[in-house]
Amino acid sequence: MNAHIAALACDAEHRFSKELRDSVVLLAGRGVQGDAHAGVLVQHLSRQKKDPRAANLRQVHLIHGELLDELAGRGFAIGPGQLGENVLTRGIDLLGLSTGTRLRLGGDALVEITGLRNPCHQLNAIAAGLMEATLDRAADGSLIRKCGVMAVVVSGGEVRTGDPVKLESMPRAHQPLQPV
């Protein structure tokens, strides 16, 4: 399967879930045009309280659509945009990427992966037990966060549902993803 964008979502308000869109515009150094989390500085409300001058490493939230399939297999009916993602992908192992990996979305937009999205208790407002369902344990006992990755916009452009997702570049040495 070729990696592609399965769905796009954006919301100007700080709500957990986002409204589906046929296309969104990514703005270099800012994020998704019209989204509450777009900005050069941190926009996530709880992070703003800690340090409002921190760089926004969470401009774009990407989730692999295969997570929705996994959740459906566990009895959760979760649709695109409900987990707060801007970009729902198919056919690419987002969680296996290195920090610093660059992905081309469509023809023009380029994003750089900054780290993992840390699932929060707000998921349980969607469905009881959903937060726990987005977490797992590795063989060594370490926590696996499956709720997608965060990125910054390197170069902007319009992206549409169905556009390809291409691996543009990766760091020479793999840098495991950490929550941002």
Cα gap 97→92, rounded to integer Å: 9
pLDDT bin (cut points 50, 70, 90) of residue 63 is very high
DSSP-assigned letters across all residues of 103-163: EEETTTEEEEEEEE----TTHHHHSTTHHHHTEEE-TTS-EEE-S-EEEEEEE-EEEETT-
Answer whether residue 45 shows pLDDT above 90: no
| Residue 87 in domain | yes
| Residue 177 in domain | no
CA 4 to chain centre: 14
Local structure of 54: helix, strand or coil: coil
pLDDT in tens, 13-38: 999 999 999 999 999 999 999 999 99
| Residue 175 in domain | no
pTM: 0.97
Split into its structural domains, the chain has a count of 1
- Residue 46 has what pLDDT? 87
- Domain of 12 in residue numbering reads as 4-169
CATH number at residue 134: 2.40.33.20
Answer whether residue 1 shows pLDDT above 70: no
